[in-house]
Amino acid sequence: MDLLLAAYVDGVVEADDRRFVEAHLSECAACREDVARQRAVRRLLTAQGRTASGVVPPGLETRVAARLAAERPPAVVGGWGIRVSAFAAAALVVLAAGAVLLPVVTSRSTVVLAAQLALDHLKCFVLEPHDHGETVTVADAEAELKTDYGWDLAVPATGGTPDGRLVAVRRCLYGDGRAAHILYLVGGDAVSLFILPGLERPTEELTLLGQDGVVWSRDGRTYVLVGSAGLGSRLHSMASNLRNGAE
């Protein structure tokens, strides 16, 4: 009966048990008294329990937050508030300073291609000055690609995921500017879609500089999708959606 009474007081007893308890209560004054007391205690605790424990010491929250912040690896906040690991950002600085530029069109290696584009992805999102309010419509992006490259290309509006947002279209630094670089923000993560003319390549997935990349070719163009490794399977489903022409 102890077990059931507590549950009865809390109103979580099942229908059959409730009838059983109520039948008993109708005959047992001691138990009725007990239920009333338990309810009174419960009301009191709900109302006063926390305040009886006093106020939170000032500064505790700050101290806890600071301690947790110290647990995280040091990171760089780049353009658009993107967090990039300090390692990747440092590597990027070294490479950009060394002006490592290889013509994309002559590169046979998908790894080299992806590495160059991963660098450009990081460079555009981390190092370049940007305008916080910068957005670009699909129409603008397509017009730009037509003007700059002579391409009639449908620009995916969200990059293959519902919460993707188109933010910019750039001429890619590498490959003599022959690659189009479309920048998206997915939640707080940066994703780049590069489109290059020609180069039939088998579909591949790679990881470099903390970024994941998916490479595929279609209709005489090569596509490379690059995003933070933290995106995990999101990036791959975005690539699938784009490949299958979901947009």
Partner 1 sequence: MPPWRRRFDPPAVPDQFTTDALTFLEALYQSAVRLARNRDAAQDLVQDTYLKAFRARRRFTPGTNLKAWLFTILHNTWRNQRRDRARARVEADSETVEQLVDLGAGADRPTDNPEAGLLEAVLSDDLRTALDDLPQPYRETVWLRDVEELSYQEIAAILDVPIGTVMSRLSRARRQLYRALTEAGRNQGGQGAS
Which positions lie near partner 1, rule CB under 8 A? 2-7, 9-10, 12, 30, 32-46, 48-54, 56-57, 60-61, 63-65, 67-69, 71-72, 74-78, 86, 89, 93, 126-127, 129
Toward partner 1, which CB reaches closer, 61 or 148?
61
Toward partner 1, which CB reaches closer, 198 or 232?
232
Closest approach, Cβ 148 to partner 1, in A, equals: 25
Question: Would you state the structure tokens that stand for residue 23, as one six-digit string?
Answer: 């039948």
Q: Do 208 and 214 meet the contact criterion of CB atoms below 8 Å apart?
A: no
List % helix, strand, coil for the chain (3-state, nearest 5): 50, 20, 30
Toward partner 1, which CB reaches closer, 74 or 133?
74
Tell the residue number behind the tokens 């993107």, with chain if given. 82
238: Cβ–Cβ under 8 A, 6 or more apart, which residues? 159, 160, 161, 164, 186, 191, 225, 227
Q: Which amino acid is at 71?
A: E
122: Cβ–Cβ under 8 A, 6 or more apart, which residues? 78, 84, 88, 89, 92, 209, 211
Toward partner 1, which CB reaches closer, 167 or 193?
167
d(CA 49, CA 198): 70
Closest approach, Cβ 47 to partner 1, in A, equals: 9
Toward partner 1, which CB reaches closer, 63 or 218?
63
Question: Can you give the length of the chain in residues?
Answer: 247
Closest approach, Cβ 11 to partner 1, in A, equals: 12
Closest approach, Cβ 24 to partner 1, in A, equals: 14
Closest approach, Cβ 126 to partner 1, in A, equals: 7
